[in-house]
Amino acid sequence: MRQASITFDRAFAIGDTDPRLFGAFVEHLGRCVYGGIYEPGHPTADKRGFRKDVLDLVTELGPTIMRYPGGNFVSGYNWEDGVGPVKDRPARLDLAWFTTEPNSFGTNEFIDWCRAAKIEPMLAVNLGTRDGDAARNLVEYCNHPGGTAWSDLRIKHGWKKPHDVKFWCLGNEVDGPWQMEHKTATEYGRVAHEAAKMMRWIDPSIELAACGSSGRNMPTYGRWEDEVLEHTFDQVEFISLHTYFNNYASDTKAFLASPDLMDNFIEEVVAISDAVAARRRSDKRIMLSFDEWNVWYRTRRVRADRVKEGWPVAPPILEEVYSMEDALVFGGACISLLNHADRVKAACLAQLVNVIAPIMTETGGPAWRQTIFWPFAQMSRLGRGTVLKAIVKSESYQASYFDPRGKQDLFYPIDAPYLKASVVSDDKGVSLFLLNRDLEQPVTVTLDARGFGKLKVTEATELRHSDLQAVNSKAEPLKVKPATLKGFATKADTISLELQPASWNVIRLEG
Protein backbone atom coordinates (compact mmCIF):
# COMPACT_ATOMS: atom_id res chain seq x y z
CA MET A 1 0.00 0.00 0.00
CA ARG A 2 1.29 3.44 -0.89
CA GLN A 3 1.69 6.22 1.68
CA ALA A 4 0.92 9.90 1.15
CA SER A 5 0.38 12.98 3.29
CA ILE A 6 -1.36 16.32 2.97
CA THR A 7 -0.44 19.29 5.17
CA PHE A 8 -2.50 22.47 5.13
CA ASP A 9 -2.92 25.52 7.32
CA ARG A 10 -5.90 27.85 7.60
CA ALA A 11 -3.52 30.84 7.40
CA PHE A 12 -2.03 29.90 4.02
CA ALA A 13 -4.47 30.36 1.15
CA ILE A 14 -4.35 30.30 -2.65
CA GLY A 15 -7.55 32.31 -3.06
CA ASP A 16 -11.32 32.29 -2.77
CA THR A 17 -13.39 30.35 -5.27
CA ASP A 18 -15.52 32.69 -7.36
CA PRO A 19 -19.13 31.50 -7.78
CA ARG A 20 -18.58 31.61 -11.54
CA LEU A 21 -15.96 28.86 -11.28
CA PHE A 22 -18.78 26.31 -11.32
CA GLY A 23 -20.26 27.17 -14.71
CA ALA A 24 -21.42 25.21 -17.75
CA PHE A 25 -22.17 25.75 -21.42
CA VAL A 26 -25.19 25.55 -23.74
CA GLU A 27 -24.63 25.75 -27.51
CA HIS A 28 -26.92 25.33 -30.49
CA LEU A 29 -25.24 22.01 -31.27
CA GLY A 30 -26.94 18.66 -31.68
CA ARG A 31 -29.58 18.04 -29.00
CA CYS A 32 -28.19 20.38 -26.36
CA VAL A 33 -30.99 22.92 -26.82
CA TYR A 34 -33.68 21.13 -28.84
CA GLY A 35 -34.50 17.89 -27.04
CA GLY A 36 -32.19 18.88 -24.20
CA ILE A 37 -33.13 21.92 -22.13
CA TYR A 38 -36.00 22.81 -24.48
CA GLU A 39 -38.62 20.37 -25.74
CA PRO A 40 -42.18 21.65 -26.08
CA GLY A 41 -44.60 18.76 -25.83
CA HIS A 42 -42.39 16.69 -23.54
CA PRO A 43 -44.38 15.20 -20.62
CA THR A 44 -42.40 17.32 -18.15
CA ALA A 45 -42.23 20.52 -20.22
CA ASP A 46 -43.65 23.71 -18.77
CA LYS A 47 -45.60 26.26 -20.84
CA ARG A 48 -42.33 27.72 -22.14
CA GLY A 49 -41.12 24.33 -23.37
CA PHE A 50 -38.45 23.90 -20.68
CA ARG A 51 -37.98 20.27 -19.60
CA LYS A 52 -38.54 20.14 -15.85
CA ASP A 53 -36.76 16.79 -15.49
CA VAL A 54 -33.66 18.42 -16.97
CA LEU A 55 -34.09 21.48 -14.75
CA ASP A 56 -34.23 19.20 -11.70
CA LEU A 57 -30.96 17.52 -12.69
CA VAL A 58 -29.38 20.90 -13.46
CA THR A 59 -30.33 22.06 -9.95
CA GLU A 60 -28.67 18.94 -8.51
CA LEU A 61 -25.58 19.45 -10.70
CA GLY A 62 -25.25 23.01 -9.39
CA PRO A 63 -23.87 25.18 -12.23
CA THR A 64 -23.75 28.86 -11.37
CA ILE A 65 -23.24 30.56 -14.75
CA MET A 66 -24.16 29.40 -18.26
CA ARG A 67 -22.35 30.32 -21.49
CA TYR A 68 -24.50 30.73 -24.63
CA PRO A 69 -25.03 30.42 -27.65
CA GLY A 70 -21.60 29.02 -28.53
CA GLY A 71 -19.09 27.79 -29.21
CA ASN A 72 -18.42 27.49 -32.91
CA PHE A 73 -22.07 28.26 -33.56
CA VAL A 74 -21.75 31.87 -32.41
CA SER A 75 -19.20 32.76 -35.11
CA GLY A 76 -21.97 32.67 -37.73
CA TYR A 77 -24.96 33.61 -35.56
CA ASN A 78 -27.21 36.60 -36.21
CA TRP A 79 -28.72 37.23 -32.80
CA GLU A 80 -31.63 39.12 -34.38
CA ASP A 81 -32.83 35.82 -35.92
CA GLY A 82 -33.56 34.43 -32.44
CA VAL A 83 -35.81 37.17 -31.05
CA GLY A 84 -39.38 38.25 -31.75
CA PRO A 85 -42.41 36.06 -32.57
CA VAL A 86 -41.23 32.48 -33.13
CA LYS A 87 -43.41 32.11 -36.22
CA ASP A 88 -41.55 34.99 -37.87
CA ARG A 89 -38.03 33.77 -37.14
CA PRO A 90 -35.98 32.58 -40.13
CA ALA A 91 -34.39 29.15 -40.38
CA ARG A 92 -30.69 29.30 -41.26
CA LEU A 93 -27.99 26.90 -42.34
CA ASP A 94 -25.44 26.54 -39.53
CA LEU A 95 -21.96 26.09 -40.99
CA ALA A 96 -20.42 25.20 -37.63
CA TRP A 97 -22.23 21.85 -37.36
CA PHE A 98 -23.83 21.51 -40.82
CA THR A 99 -27.38 21.59 -39.48
CA THR A 100 -30.47 23.73 -39.93
CA GLU A 101 -31.09 26.17 -37.08
CA PRO A 102 -34.85 26.92 -36.69
CA ASN A 103 -34.21 29.77 -34.21
CA SER A 104 -37.25 28.84 -32.14
CA PHE A 105 -35.05 29.21 -29.05
CA GLY A 106 -33.03 32.41 -28.75
CA THR A 107 -31.67 35.05 -26.40
CA ASN A 108 -34.89 35.80 -24.49
CA GLU A 109 -35.77 32.13 -24.05
CA PHE A 110 -32.24 31.49 -22.79
CA ILE A 111 -32.51 34.28 -20.24
CA ASP A 112 -35.86 32.90 -19.06
CA TRP A 113 -34.34 29.43 -18.78
CA CYS A 114 -31.45 30.80 -16.70
CA ARG A 115 -33.91 32.55 -14.39
CA ALA A 116 -35.88 29.29 -14.02
CA ALA A 117 -32.65 27.43 -13.22
CA LYS A 118 -31.37 30.25 -10.93
CA ILE A 119 -28.21 30.54 -13.02
CA GLU A 120 -26.33 33.66 -14.18
CA PRO A 121 -26.33 34.06 -17.99
CA MET A 122 -23.06 34.49 -19.90
CA LEU A 123 -23.51 35.67 -23.49
CA ALA A 124 -21.04 35.38 -26.36
CA VAL A 125 -21.10 37.81 -29.28
CA ASN A 126 -20.28 36.96 -32.90
CA LEU A 127 -16.87 38.36 -33.82
CA GLY A 128 -16.49 35.92 -36.70
CA THR A 129 -18.88 36.94 -39.48
CA ARG A 130 -19.91 40.11 -37.63
CA ASP A 131 -18.24 42.86 -35.63
CA GLY A 132 -18.64 45.39 -32.85
CA ASP A 133 -21.77 46.97 -34.28
CA ALA A 134 -23.86 43.81 -33.86
CA ALA A 135 -22.29 43.24 -30.45
CA ARG A 136 -23.14 46.69 -29.09
CA ASN A 137 -26.69 46.37 -30.44
CA LEU A 138 -27.14 43.11 -28.55
CA VAL A 139 -25.94 44.75 -25.32
CA GLU A 140 -28.45 47.56 -25.89
CA TYR A 141 -31.23 45.05 -26.57
CA CYS A 142 -30.44 43.07 -23.42
CA ASN A 143 -29.37 45.67 -20.89
CA HIS A 144 -30.72 49.12 -21.73
CA PRO A 145 -33.93 49.99 -19.79
CA GLY A 146 -35.87 51.50 -22.71
CA GLY A 147 -36.40 54.52 -24.90
CA THR A 148 -34.18 53.38 -27.76
CA ALA A 149 -34.82 51.27 -30.83
CA TRP A 150 -33.17 48.08 -29.58
CA SER A 151 -34.32 48.27 -25.96
CA ASP A 152 -37.86 49.12 -27.03
CA LEU A 153 -37.78 46.14 -29.38
CA ARG A 154 -37.03 43.89 -26.38
CA ILE A 155 -39.98 45.42 -24.58
CA LYS A 156 -42.18 44.90 -27.63
CA HIS A 157 -41.08 41.25 -27.67
CA GLY A 158 -42.44 40.84 -24.14
CA TRP A 159 -39.48 41.45 -21.82
CA LYS A 160 -40.06 44.78 -20.13
CA LYS A 161 -37.22 44.58 -17.61
CA PRO A 162 -33.63 44.60 -18.88
CA HIS A 163 -31.88 41.24 -18.81
CA ASP A 164 -28.89 42.89 -17.09
CA VAL A 165 -26.34 40.41 -18.44
CA LYS A 166 -22.97 41.13 -16.84
CA PHE A 167 -20.55 38.59 -18.35
CA TRP A 168 -19.85 38.77 -22.11
CA CYS A 169 -17.46 36.73 -24.30
CA LEU A 170 -15.84 38.50 -27.26
CA GLY A 171 -16.27 35.73 -29.82
CA ASN A 172 -15.14 32.12 -29.70
CA GLU A 173 -11.95 30.26 -30.71
CA VAL A 174 -11.12 32.82 -33.37
CA ASP A 175 -7.58 31.40 -33.53
CA GLY A 176 -8.96 28.16 -35.05
CA PRO A 177 -9.11 27.70 -38.85
CA TRP A 178 -12.31 25.66 -38.32
CA GLN A 179 -13.99 28.87 -37.21
CA MET A 180 -16.16 30.98 -39.51
CA GLU A 181 -14.07 34.08 -40.32
CA HIS A 182 -10.94 32.77 -38.58
CA LYS A 183 -8.62 35.67 -37.77
CA THR A 184 -5.01 36.30 -36.91
CA ALA A 185 -4.24 37.57 -33.42
CA THR A 186 -3.82 41.10 -34.75
CA GLU A 187 -7.07 41.00 -36.72
CA TYR A 188 -9.00 39.60 -33.77
CA GLY A 189 -7.33 41.91 -31.27
CA ARG A 190 -8.39 44.99 -33.21
CA VAL A 191 -12.04 43.95 -33.66
CA ALA A 192 -12.26 42.77 -30.05
CA HIS A 193 -10.86 46.10 -28.84
CA GLU A 194 -13.43 48.08 -30.80
CA ALA A 195 -16.33 45.79 -29.88
CA ALA A 196 -15.41 45.93 -26.20
CA LYS A 197 -15.14 49.71 -26.29
CA MET A 198 -18.61 50.15 -27.76
CA MET A 199 -20.22 47.45 -25.62
CA ARG A 200 -18.90 49.12 -22.48
CA TRP A 201 -20.08 52.52 -23.69
CA ILE A 202 -23.60 51.03 -23.79
CA ASP A 203 -23.24 49.48 -20.31
CA PRO A 204 -20.15 50.34 -18.23
CA SER A 205 -21.02 47.63 -15.67
CA ILE A 206 -20.38 44.64 -17.94
CA GLU A 207 -17.35 42.32 -17.71
CA LEU A 208 -15.61 41.09 -20.85
CA ALA A 209 -13.54 38.04 -21.80
CA ALA A 210 -11.19 38.05 -24.78
CA CYS A 211 -10.54 34.84 -26.72
CA GLY A 212 -7.40 33.02 -25.72
CA SER A 213 -6.08 29.92 -27.45
CA SER A 214 -8.45 27.11 -28.40
CA GLY A 215 -5.99 24.72 -26.81
CA ARG A 216 -2.45 24.47 -25.49
CA ASN A 217 -1.54 22.49 -28.62
CA MET A 218 -2.35 25.32 -31.05
CA PRO A 219 0.68 26.37 -33.15
CA THR A 220 0.01 30.03 -32.26
CA TYR A 221 -0.33 29.35 -28.51
CA GLY A 222 1.43 31.91 -26.36
CA ARG A 223 2.02 34.41 -29.15
CA TRP A 224 -1.77 34.60 -29.56
CA GLU A 225 -2.41 35.55 -25.93
CA ASP A 226 0.39 38.11 -25.96
CA GLU A 227 -0.81 39.87 -29.12
CA VAL A 228 -4.52 39.76 -28.23
CA LEU A 229 -3.88 41.27 -24.81
CA GLU A 230 -1.69 43.96 -26.35
CA HIS A 231 -4.88 45.15 -28.05
CA THR A 232 -7.49 44.40 -25.39
CA PHE A 233 -5.69 44.69 -22.03
CA ASP A 234 -7.45 47.90 -21.02
CA GLN A 235 -10.87 46.72 -22.20
CA VAL A 236 -11.22 43.22 -20.72
CA GLU A 237 -11.21 41.54 -17.33
CA PHE A 238 -10.69 37.97 -18.58
CA ILE A 239 -8.94 35.90 -21.19
CA SER A 240 -10.40 32.51 -22.09
CA LEU A 241 -8.85 29.03 -22.19
CA HIS A 242 -10.24 25.82 -23.70
CA THR A 243 -9.11 22.23 -23.25
CA TYR A 244 -10.46 18.73 -23.82
CA PHE A 245 -8.85 15.59 -22.42
CA ASN A 246 -8.50 12.47 -24.54
CA ASN A 247 -7.43 8.85 -24.37
CA TYR A 248 -6.75 8.29 -28.05
CA ALA A 249 -3.63 6.34 -27.05
CA SER A 250 -5.62 3.91 -24.85
CA ASP A 251 -3.14 4.67 -22.07
CA THR A 252 -5.09 4.92 -18.81
CA LYS A 253 -2.13 6.06 -16.72
CA ALA A 254 -1.35 8.92 -19.10
CA PHE A 255 -5.03 9.79 -19.36
CA LEU A 256 -5.31 10.07 -15.56
CA ALA A 257 -2.19 12.26 -15.53
CA SER A 258 -3.52 14.66 -18.20
CA PRO A 259 -5.22 17.13 -15.82
CA ASP A 260 -1.73 18.12 -14.67
CA LEU A 261 -1.30 19.72 -18.11
CA MET A 262 -4.30 21.89 -17.27
CA ASP A 263 -2.24 23.24 -14.36
CA ASN A 264 0.59 24.08 -16.77
CA PHE A 265 -1.80 25.73 -19.23
CA ILE A 266 -3.26 27.97 -16.52
CA GLU A 267 0.11 28.96 -15.11
CA GLU A 268 1.53 29.76 -18.55
CA VAL A 269 -1.41 32.00 -19.51
CA VAL A 270 -1.14 33.75 -16.14
CA ALA A 271 2.55 34.39 -16.85
CA ILE A 272 1.83 35.77 -20.34
CA SER A 273 -0.97 37.99 -19.04
CA ASP A 274 1.26 39.34 -16.29
CA ALA A 275 4.06 39.97 -18.78
CA VAL A 276 1.69 42.17 -20.79
CA ALA A 277 0.82 44.01 -17.57
CA ALA A 278 4.51 44.41 -16.75
CA ARG A 279 5.22 46.02 -20.12
CA ARG A 280 2.54 48.57 -19.23
CA ARG A 281 3.84 49.01 -15.66
CA SER A 282 0.26 48.12 -14.70
CA ASP A 283 -0.96 46.54 -11.49
CA LYS A 284 -4.11 45.28 -13.26
CA ARG A 285 -4.35 41.50 -13.35
CA ILE A 286 -6.22 39.72 -16.12
CA MET A 287 -8.27 36.83 -14.74
CA LEU A 288 -8.86 33.57 -16.54
CA SER A 289 -12.14 32.18 -17.87
CA PHE A 290 -11.74 28.47 -18.57
CA ASP A 291 -14.99 28.55 -20.47
CA GLU A 292 -14.69 25.19 -22.24
CA TRP A 293 -13.32 22.08 -20.57
CA ASN A 294 -14.23 18.40 -20.45
CA VAL A 295 -13.24 14.91 -21.54
CA TRP A 296 -13.96 14.51 -25.26
CA TYR A 297 -12.47 12.21 -27.86
CA ARG A 298 -14.69 9.29 -28.92
CA THR A 299 -17.04 11.45 -30.99
CA ARG A 300 -14.50 14.09 -31.92
CA ARG A 301 -12.66 12.68 -34.94
CA VAL A 302 -15.35 10.58 -36.62
CA ARG A 303 -17.30 12.49 -39.26
CA ALA A 304 -20.44 10.40 -38.69
CA ASP A 305 -20.49 11.58 -35.07
CA ARG A 306 -20.03 15.22 -36.03
CA VAL A 307 -21.97 15.70 -39.26
CA LYS A 308 -25.25 14.19 -40.45
CA GLU A 309 -26.09 14.52 -44.13
CA GLY A 310 -29.03 16.64 -45.30
CA TRP A 311 -28.78 19.65 -42.93
CA PRO A 312 -31.10 18.17 -40.23
CA VAL A 313 -32.50 20.05 -37.24
CA ALA A 314 -30.91 19.07 -33.91
CA PRO A 315 -29.46 15.70 -34.92
CA PRO A 316 -27.85 13.50 -32.23
CA ILE A 317 -24.16 14.44 -32.61
CA LEU A 318 -21.23 14.44 -30.17
CA GLU A 319 -23.21 12.40 -27.66
CA GLU A 320 -20.19 11.09 -25.75
CA VAL A 321 -20.96 8.24 -23.35
CA TYR A 322 -18.75 8.67 -20.31
CA SER A 323 -17.02 5.89 -18.41
CA MET A 324 -15.69 5.54 -14.89
CA GLU A 325 -12.22 6.28 -16.30
CA ASP A 326 -13.51 9.55 -17.76
CA ALA A 327 -15.03 10.51 -14.40
CA LEU A 328 -11.65 10.13 -12.70
CA VAL A 329 -9.94 12.37 -15.26
CA PHE A 330 -12.80 14.84 -14.95
CA GLY A 331 -12.33 14.88 -11.16
CA GLY A 332 -8.64 15.62 -11.65
CA ALA A 333 -9.59 18.63 -13.77
CA CYS A 334 -11.91 19.84 -11.00
CA ILE A 335 -8.93 19.74 -8.64
CA SER A 336 -6.79 21.71 -11.10
CA LEU A 337 -9.42 24.45 -11.37
CA LEU A 338 -9.83 24.70 -7.61
CA ASN A 339 -6.08 24.92 -7.08
CA HIS A 340 -5.92 28.04 -9.28
CA ALA A 341 -8.80 29.89 -7.67
CA ASP A 342 -6.66 33.01 -7.36
CA ARG A 343 -6.72 33.56 -11.15
CA VAL A 344 -9.34 31.23 -12.65
CA LYS A 345 -12.46 33.19 -11.74
CA ALA A 346 -14.86 31.63 -14.25
CA ALA A 347 -15.09 28.21 -15.87
CA CYS A 348 -17.67 26.38 -18.00
CA LEU A 349 -18.06 22.65 -18.31
CA ALA A 350 -18.76 21.95 -22.00
CA GLN A 351 -21.55 21.14 -22.39
CA LEU A 352 -24.65 20.75 -20.22
CA VAL A 353 -27.04 18.29 -21.92
CA ASN A 354 -26.54 15.48 -24.48
CA VAL A 355 -23.52 17.03 -26.24
CA ILE A 356 -20.36 15.90 -24.36
CA ALA A 357 -22.45 16.40 -21.24
CA PRO A 358 -23.10 15.23 -17.67
CA ILE A 359 -26.84 14.97 -18.40
CA MET A 360 -28.38 12.81 -21.13
CA THR A 361 -31.96 12.77 -22.36
CA GLU A 362 -34.16 10.76 -24.63
CA THR A 363 -36.37 12.89 -26.82
CA GLY A 364 -39.85 12.41 -25.41
CA GLY A 365 -38.40 10.18 -22.69
CA PRO A 366 -36.34 10.28 -19.50
CA ALA A 367 -33.19 12.16 -18.46
CA TRP A 368 -30.28 10.63 -16.53
CA ARG A 369 -26.84 11.36 -15.11
CA GLN A 370 -23.53 10.41 -16.72
CA THR A 371 -20.50 9.41 -14.64
CA ILE A 372 -18.96 12.89 -14.84
CA PHE A 373 -22.08 14.33 -13.18
CA TRP A 374 -20.96 13.54 -9.64
CA PRO A 375 -17.49 15.12 -9.50
CA PHE A 376 -18.90 18.38 -10.83
CA ALA A 377 -21.90 18.34 -8.46
CA GLN A 378 -19.62 17.69 -5.49
CA MET A 379 -17.18 20.40 -6.52
CA SER A 380 -20.02 22.91 -6.90
CA ARG A 381 -21.60 21.99 -3.58
CA LEU A 382 -18.48 21.67 -1.42
CA GLY A 383 -15.92 23.76 -3.33
CA ARG A 384 -17.26 27.16 -2.25
CA GLY A 385 -14.78 28.90 0.02
CA THR A 386 -11.03 29.49 0.32
CA VAL A 387 -8.64 27.11 -1.41
CA LEU A 388 -5.68 26.41 0.87
CA LYS A 389 -2.10 25.76 -0.14
CA ALA A 390 -1.78 22.03 0.40
CA ILE A 391 1.60 20.35 0.67
CA VAL A 392 1.04 16.94 -0.92
CA LYS A 393 3.74 14.30 -0.50
CA SER A 394 3.14 11.34 -2.75
CA GLU A 395 5.06 8.94 -4.93
CA SER A 396 4.88 9.75 -8.64
CA TYR A 397 4.84 7.91 -11.93
CA GLN A 398 6.02 8.80 -15.43
CA ALA A 399 3.52 9.19 -18.26
CA SER A 400 3.52 10.39 -21.86
CA TYR A 401 0.22 12.02 -22.84
CA PHE A 402 -0.76 12.03 -26.51
CA ASP A 403 -2.34 15.26 -27.76
CA PRO A 404 -2.89 15.45 -31.52
CA ARG A 405 -2.35 18.70 -33.40
CA GLY A 406 -3.20 18.36 -37.07
CA LYS A 407 -0.49 16.38 -38.84
CA GLN A 408 1.96 16.80 -35.98
CA ASP A 409 1.42 14.48 -33.04
CA LEU A 410 2.46 15.80 -29.63
CA PHE A 411 3.53 13.75 -26.64
CA TYR A 412 3.78 15.56 -23.32
CA PRO A 413 5.92 13.93 -20.59
CA ILE A 414 4.29 14.15 -17.16
CA ASP A 415 5.68 13.33 -13.71
CA ALA A 416 2.33 12.65 -12.04
CA PRO A 417 1.90 12.20 -8.28
CA TYR A 418 -0.36 9.22 -7.55
CA LEU A 419 -2.36 11.49 -5.24
CA LYS A 420 -3.83 14.69 -6.67
CA ALA A 421 -5.60 16.87 -4.11
CA SER A 422 -7.31 20.16 -3.34
CA VAL A 423 -8.36 21.58 0.03
CA VAL A 424 -11.18 24.13 0.39
CA SER A 425 -12.08 25.72 3.72
CA ASP A 426 -15.15 27.62 4.82
CA ASP A 427 -16.67 28.87 8.08
CA LYS A 428 -17.66 25.37 9.20
CA GLY A 429 -14.73 23.24 8.15
CA VAL A 430 -12.79 21.80 5.23
CA SER A 431 -13.60 19.88 2.04
CA LEU A 432 -10.96 17.60 0.54
CA PHE A 433 -11.05 16.56 -3.11
CA LEU A 434 -8.77 13.57 -3.63
CA LEU A 435 -7.87 11.47 -6.68
CA ASN A 436 -5.92 8.22 -6.32
CA ARG A 437 -4.38 7.60 -9.75
CA ASP A 438 -2.79 4.28 -8.83
CA LEU A 439 -4.63 1.62 -10.81
CA GLU A 440 -3.63 -1.24 -8.51
CA GLN A 441 -2.77 -0.10 -5.01
CA PRO A 442 -4.72 1.76 -2.32
CA VAL A 443 -3.04 4.77 -0.78
CA THR A 444 -3.08 5.64 2.91
CA VAL A 445 -3.30 9.41 3.31
CA THR A 446 -2.35 11.19 6.52
CA LEU A 447 -3.86 14.64 6.97
CA ASP A 448 -2.14 17.32 9.04
CA ALA A 449 -4.69 20.12 9.42
CA ARG A 450 -3.28 23.19 11.15
CA GLY A 451 -5.21 26.10 12.58
CA PHE A 452 -8.56 24.31 12.69
CA GLY A 453 -8.61 22.68 16.10
CA LYS A 454 -10.15 19.27 16.38
CA LEU A 455 -11.76 18.09 13.15
CA LYS A 456 -13.92 15.07 12.51
CA VAL A 457 -15.22 13.47 9.33
CA THR A 458 -18.85 14.44 8.72
CA GLU A 459 -19.18 13.24 5.12
CA ALA A 460 -17.15 10.95 2.90
CA THR A 461 -17.90 9.68 -0.57
CA GLU A 462 -16.01 7.52 -3.03
CA LEU A 463 -16.60 7.21 -6.77
CA ARG A 464 -15.05 4.07 -8.25
CA HIS A 465 -15.87 0.89 -10.13
CA SER A 466 -13.97 -2.33 -10.66
CA ASP A 467 -14.47 -1.81 -14.39
CA LEU A 468 -13.02 1.50 -15.53
CA GLN A 469 -15.10 1.28 -18.71
CA ALA A 470 -18.39 1.05 -16.78
CA VAL A 471 -20.95 3.65 -17.84
CA ASN A 472 -24.34 4.93 -16.77
CA SER A 473 -27.31 4.32 -19.01
CA LYS A 474 -31.02 4.99 -19.25
CA ALA A 475 -31.67 1.38 -18.19
CA GLU A 476 -29.26 1.56 -15.24
CA PRO A 477 -29.02 5.26 -14.41
CA LEU A 478 -27.33 4.76 -11.03
CA LYS A 479 -24.89 1.98 -11.94
CA VAL A 480 -21.93 4.11 -10.92
CA LYS A 481 -22.55 6.22 -7.85
CA PRO A 482 -20.84 7.61 -4.76
CA ALA A 483 -20.48 5.13 -1.91
CA THR A 484 -19.47 5.56 1.72
CA LEU A 485 -15.70 5.58 2.12
CA LYS A 486 -14.21 3.37 4.84
CA GLY A 487 -10.84 3.20 6.56
CA PHE A 488 -10.69 6.28 8.77
CA ALA A 489 -8.47 6.58 11.80
CA THR A 490 -8.31 9.68 14.00
CA LYS A 491 -5.40 10.30 16.36
CA ALA A 492 -4.53 13.62 18.01
CA ASP A 493 -4.70 16.32 15.33
CA THR A 494 -4.20 14.01 12.35
CA ILE A 495 -6.63 11.97 10.32
CA SER A 496 -5.68 8.92 8.30
CA LEU A 497 -7.78 7.45 5.54
CA GLU A 498 -7.41 4.82 2.89
CA LEU A 499 -8.23 5.58 -0.75
CA GLN A 500 -9.02 2.67 -3.01
CA PRO A 501 -7.20 2.26 -6.34
CA ALA A 502 -8.44 4.46 -9.19
CA SER A 503 -10.92 6.40 -7.08
CA TRP A 504 -12.30 9.94 -6.73
CA ASN A 505 -12.98 10.87 -3.12
CA VAL A 506 -14.57 13.84 -1.38
CA ILE A 507 -14.07 14.18 2.37
CA ARG A 508 -15.81 16.75 4.58
CA LEU A 509 -14.20 17.69 7.92
CA GLU A 510 -15.82 19.89 10.52
CA GLY A 511 -15.01 20.92 14.07
Q: Mind telling me the catalytic residues?
A: 173, 292
CB 218 within 8 A of CB 175: yes
> CB of 263 within 8 A of CB of 336?
yes
Task: Name the amino acid, one letter, at 164.
Answer: D
Residue type, 303: R
Q: Which residues, in sequence order, are CB contacts of 472 under 8 Å at separation 6+?
A: 322, 368, 369, 370, 371, 478, 479, 480
Alpha helix (H) ranges present in 385-486? none
Between the alpha carbon of residue 275 and those of residues 36, 162, 175, 211, 286, the distances in Å are 42, 38, 21, 17, 11
Q: Exposed/middle/buried for 181, CB within 10 Å: 0-12, 13-18, 19+?
A: middle
Distance CA 168, CA 171 (A): 9
Q: Across the strands, what pairs with 93?
A: 100
C-beta of residue 106 within 8 angstroms of C-beta of residue 118: no
**Per-residue CA distances from 464 to 122, 298, 436, 505 (Å):** 34, 21, 10, 9
**Is 118 in a helix, a strand, or coil?**
coil
For residue 340, give the 3-state DSSP assignment: coil
Q: Are 369 and 358 in contact (CB under 8 A)?
A: yes
Furthest C-alpha separation in the chain: 70
Q: What is the DSSP letter of 130?
A: S
Classify the C-alpha dihedral 408-414-419-421 as positive or negative: negative
For residue 317, the SS3 value is coil
DSSP letter (8 states) at residue 321: P
How far is it, in rounded angstroms, from Cα 396 to Cα 121?
Answer: 41
